[in-house]
Amino acid sequence: MTAKKSFPKPSELPVPAGAEGWEKLYPYYLTFQEKRKDEDDAKFWFCDSQHWPTVFKPFETIGGEFAVKCLGQYNARHLMIPNANGIEFRVHLGYLYMSPIPVPEQEIAARVPEFQARVGHYFQNWDTLLEQWKRKVRGTIDEMETLEFKPLPDMVSMEDITSGKAKDGTEVLLENYDRLIQLAYQNWQYHFEFLNLGYIAYLDFFNYCKEVFPDIPDQSIATMVQGVDMELFRPDDELKALATLAVELGLQSHFARPDDVEATLGAIGAADGGQRWLDRWAEAQDPWFNFTVGNGFYGHDKYWNEHLDIPLGYIADYIRRLDEGQTIMRPTAELVAEKDRIVEEYRELLDGDQLAAFDAKRSLAATAYPYVENHNFYIEHWTMGVFWRKVRELSRTLHGYGFWEHEDDLLYLRRNEVRDVLFDLATGWGVGAPSGPVGPDYWPEIIAERTALVAALKTARPAAALNTPPASITEPFTRMLWGITTEQVESWLGAGEEGTEGVLKGMAASPGVVEGVARVIMDSDDLAQIQQDEILVAPVTAPSWGPVFGKIKATVTDIGGMMSHAAIVCREYALPAVTGTGSASTSIVTGQRLRVDGTKGTVTILDGPNAAPQVAGPGAHSHQHPHGTPETAAAGEPAHV
CA distances from residue 623 to 348, 575, 602, 603 in whole angstroms, order as listed: 28, 7, 15, 15
Q: Which fold has domain 498-634?
A: Glucose Oxidase; domain 1 (3.50.30)
CA distances from residue 619 to 54, 518, 540, 594 in whole angstroms, order as listed: 36, 16, 27, 11
Would you say residue 279 has pLDDT above 60?
A: yes
Per DSSP, the residues of 537-563 read: EES---GGGHHHHTT-SEEEESS--TT
In sequence order, which residues have a C-beta less than 8 Å from that of residue 546 and are 6 or more positions away? 233, 235, 236, 569, 573
Instruction: Map out the domains of the chain as residue ranges.
Output: 498-634
Q: Among 2-11, 52-61, 594-603, which stretch is predicted with the lowest mean pLDDT? A: 2-11
Between 307 and 571, the more confident residue is 307
Would you say residue 625 has pLDDT above 50?
A: no
d(CA 225, CA 335): 10
Which amino acid type is present at position 49? S
**pLDDT for residue 567:** 86
Percent of the chain exceeding pLDDT 70 equals 94
Q: Among 144-158, 164-178, 468-482, which stretch is predicted with the lowest mean pLDDT? A: 468-482
Q: What value does the mean pLDDT take over residues 364-371?
A: 87
pLDDT tens, 218-270? 889 989 987 667 788 899 999 999 999 999 999 999 999 999 999 999 999 99
Would you say residue 4 has pLDDT above 90?
A: no
Q: What value does the mean pLDDT take over residues 539-561?
A: 86
Q: What value does the mean pLDDT take over residues 346-359?
A: 96
Between 244 and 329, the more confident residue is 244
pLDDT tens, 514-537? 999 999 998 888 888 999 999 999
Would you say residue 621 has pLDDT above 50?
A: no
| Cα atoms found within 13 Å of the Cα of residue 388, Cβ hemisphere only | 29
Would you say residue 1 has pLDDT above 50?
A: no
pLDDT tens, 50-91? 889 899 999 999 999 999 999 999 999 999 999 889 999 999
**pLDDT for residue 586:** 87
pLDDT tens, 82-119? 988 999 999 999 999 999 998 999 999 999 999 999 99
**pLDDT for residue 486:** 81
Pairing of strands 95-100, 535-538: unpaired
**Nearest partner of 154 among 168, 167, 166, judged by Cα:** 168
**pLDDT for residue 546:** 80
**pLDDT for residue 499:** 43
Would you say residue 631 has pLDDT above 60?
A: no
Q: What value does the mean pLDDT take over residues 290-309?
A: 94
Q: How long is the chain?
A: 641
Strand partners, 292: 303
Question: Mean pLDDT over all residues of the chain?
Answer: 90
Phi/psi of residue 334, each to 5°? -65, -40
**pLDDT for residue 615:** 54
pLDDT tens, 387-433? 999 999 999 999 999 999 999 999 999 999 999 999 999 999 999 98
Would you say residue 628 has pLDDT above 50?
A: no
Instruction: Name the helix (H) or strand (E) containing 88.
Output: strand 87-92
Instruction: Name the helix (H) or strand (E) containing 635.
Output: none
Between 267 and 434, the more confident residue is 267
**Dihedral angle of Cα 122, 126, 131, 137, to the nearest 10 degrees:** 40
d(CA 436, CA 418): 17
**Nearest partner of 306 among 384, 421, 209, 371, judged by Cα:** 384
Is 480 in contact with 203 (CB distance < 8 Å)? yes
**pLDDT for residue 46:** 92
Q: What value does the mean pLDDT take over residues 484-510?
A: 77
The arrangement of strands across the sheet holding 593-597 comes to 503-505, 602-605, 593-597, 513-520, 535-538, 554-557, 577-579, 507-510
Q: What value does the mean pLDDT take over residues 142-160?
A: 93
Q: Which of 172-186, 372-386, 460-474, 580-594 has the highest mean pLDDT?
A: 172-186
d(CA 73, CA 364): 23
d(CA 297, CA 69): 15
Percent of the chain exceeding pLDDT 90 equals 69
d(CA 176, CA 391): 11
CA distances from residue 122 to 110, 179, 371, 477, 552 in whole angstroms, order as listed: 20, 29, 13, 19, 39
Would you say residue 639 has pLDDT above 50?
A: no
